[in-house]
Chains A and B, each alone.
Chain A
Amino acid sequence: MDQAAGDIVLNVGSGSTDGMAPGEQGLPPMLLELDRVTKRYGNMEVLKDVSLHVRKGDIVGLLGDNGAGKSTTVNVISGVVQPDEGELRWMGQVKQLTDRRASAELGIETIFQNSALVDSMTIARNIFMGREMVGPMGFMRQREMREIASEVLKTIVAIEGIDSPDKLVGQLSGGQKQAVAIARAVHFNRTLLVLDEPTSALAVRATEALFDYLRHLRERGITSILVTHNLFDAYRICDRFVAMAHGQVVLQAKKGEVTVDDLVEVVSRGRLSSKEEREAAGVPAS
């Protein structure tokens, strides 16, 4: 429990999540844990002993430079790739996620910028894709689906420019698409949203709006993992940070325990400088 005061884990070689047992006093329950996950492509270790945890209701920033292993971690969480070693726990139970559907069944929704929705289909059809409301003989309850879709658009998204559930998703902007994908996840009671680089294609206002939206979801108890290399964005919205470099988790910290400069440093150098190094550089130790 040596890290109980903070939640900082530095340069964890074989970092396990000890001290993070579910039901720990005063903290929200544990939702997702990766425990020493290793993934190799050929003889290249893309993930090395990655351990991280996500508690219910948090917005967790998964940070790292290009090639750090963020997307691979997301793929493990969403069942797209299977780890070679280590395990994934969902609400304390070990799970083998064989494909994306397995993760979706748990309540994990992964939203990739461009592959969450089908452009050539309407918003309403997208919202119910794979989860159609059907009546006798598998025929769709079209009217009900349309009504619910417009309700979802009104209450969960409320975005300008989406004036009808009959609009094609291909006619929406990147931010609007993302909003629809998130709204769908919320409507179907997903517990964990994983957003891989959601802001990379968004302008300033759309990014702001997305963040407001994630905060709003947090109030409803929905947990998010935000994958990004924009550390300033992450710093503003996230409750916790998991920083990766070269396939390893190099920092886990709560907001308030680190500064944005710390994040920049840990992501770019793969570690935080020691007290001595900082003093040598004339930076006051925090």
Chain B
Amino acid sequence: MAQTLAPAPGGPLGFGARMGSMRRSPGFQYRLQQSAVDILAIFLILQVASIIFSLADPGTFAFTSTANLLVAFQTIPLLGVVAVGVGILMIAGEFDLSVGANYLFSSLMMAQIYQDYHIDIWLCAVIGLAIGTGIGFLNGLITLRLHIPSFITTLGTMGIWEAAALFFHGASSQVFTPPNSFMVLTNGSFGWMAGEMVWFVGICIAAWALLQRHALGNHIFAAGGGPQAAISSGVDVFRAKMIAFSLAGGLAALAGILAAANVGDVSPEVNSTIPLEAIAACVIGGAALTGGRGTVLGIFLGAILLYWIQDVLLLLSAPGFYLTAFVGALVIAAAVMYQYLQARRT
């Protein structure tokens, strides 16, 4: 153990003084380690392989076809936007299993209000977002004020909002026929680039700015990584977590709204895999289930990888149940990989 705590003011540090400013400095290496570089490497290899296969055999493996890409870019964000919110909340050390129910309930309410009362669609969208954010806020309040694990809170509210969707709407599906301006901004496409993807990328950039550049982001990491240390350093852990809960709720609602615009109706039937797939995307992207660790780029790539598996299996016309097995295996593999990397680095 070569460690000494020399009192020397201005004492030597054993490396060049211009640390951080050099490319190959230790700082650069540490920043690289903390980035999503692992998942990025895997991602690029898989994508390049898929593209090569697709170019070699476009007939059976139409990976790069415009139609395939457009569908991908329309579908990935529906999970991805949820995953960004779930990921921020995971970094803050909490879970939200009610995002699927929230996604449904918020978008259903928006569609119903719009179709029944013919209020301005943008106002309806804001109402939908407000409902989702409110659901997240309530999850936070119950969890933090009553001191119960968020896993339990949101398992409970998941059931409540699922039932609420049926209670307020009934079992029939709700049509949603928004005006063209709304459709263009949510669901428009330009070649293979879909409107949903623009939203997803925008949200990722905003989330990155929040987590990596804003003081609140520092508080979110601190709240999840070491709540005791955070509190004693003057971080308002309650506030940081409440904001993370609300963001998770709001983003689940946004994804629901994008989905409603995409599909043209809302069926009051919960897609029960949403919360687990969102958590899976975060874990694949390197977010720690224990909180305090995660990157937006990782979550972004994690969401794409989850879809990529489904897409490849579909293109290879594998039976549907393969899919769930692969997703499960991928999550475990990702968790093992990060554990291994973590152990090597600390």
Contact = CB atoms under 8 A, between A and B. Distances in A.
A107 to B, nearest CB: 13
Contacts of A99: 231
Contacts of B231: 99-101
A154 B10 contact: yes
B48 interface: no
Q: Which of B1, B6, B232 has the most chain A CB within a 10 Å cutoff?
A: B232
Contact of B26 (A104, A119, A167, A213): A167
A125 B218 contact: yes
Contacts of B232: 78, 100-101, 104, 110, 115-116
A168 B5 contact: no
Tell me which of A121, A134, A146, A173 has the highest count of chain B C-beta atoms within 10 A of its own C-beta. A121
B125 interface: no
Contacts of B20: 146-147, 150, 164-166
Interface in A4-18: none
B219 interface: yes
B167 interface: no
A81 interface: no
B202 interface: no
Interface in B209-229: 209, 213-219, 221-222, 224-226, 228-229
Interface string B1-27: 111111111111111010110000111
Interface string A9-52: 00000000000000000000000000000000000000000000
A158 B11 contact: yes
A215 B7 contact: yes
Contacts, number: 178
A200 interface: no
B27 A205 contact: no
A212 interface: yes
A168 B7 contact: no
Interface residues of B, number: 53
Interface string A159-185: 111111111101101011001000000
Nearest to B91: A120
B230 to A, nearest CB: 7
Nearest to A111: B232
B235 interface: yes
B5 A213 contact: yes
Contact of B230 (A130, A150, A164): A130
Given A129-B235, A159-B5, A175-B5, A168 B30 contact: yes
B346 interface: yes
Interface string B136-157: 0000000000000000000000
Contact of A167 (B30, B217, B233): B30
B229 A154 contact: no
Contacts of B7: 158, 212-213, 215-216
Contact of A203 (B1, B217, B230): B1
Interface string A97-129: 001110010000010000111111110011011
A208 B278 CA distance: 49
A175 B33 CA distance: 23
Given A115-B228, A116-B232, A161 B3 contact: yes
B34 to A, nearest CB: 7
Contacts of A161: 2-3
Interface size class of A (residues with CB under 8 A): 35 or more
Given A115-B226, A130-B222, A168-B34, A159 B292 contact: no
A159 B218 CA distance: 25
Contacts of A163: 13-15, 19, 26-27
Given A117-B229, A118-B222, A155-B10, A131 B5 contact: no
A166 B222 contact: no
A104 B231 CA distance: 10
Contacts of B225: 118-121
B221 A154 contact: no
A272 interface: no
A142 B224 CA distance: 21
B59 interface: no
A160 B3 contact: yes
A216 B10 CA distance: 13
A176 B3 CA distance: 8
Contacts of B230: 118, 129-130
Contacts of B28: 166
Interface in B287-315: 288, 291-293
A139 B206 CA distance: 12
Nearest to A183: B5
A170 B226 CA distance: 11
Contacts of B3: 159-161, 173, 175-176, 205-206, 209
11 contacts: A115-B232, A118-B226, A129-B219, A139-B209, A158-B6, A158-B13, A167-B26, A168-B30, A209-B4, A209-B5, A213-B6
Given A158-B10, A167-B26, A171-B345, 19 more contacts: A101-B232, A101-B234, A104-B232, A120-B221, A120-B288, A121-B225, A122-B30, A128-B218, A129-B222, A129-B235, A130-B219, A130-B234, A138-B215, A156-B9, A158-B6, A159-B4, A166-B30, A168-B30, A215-B7
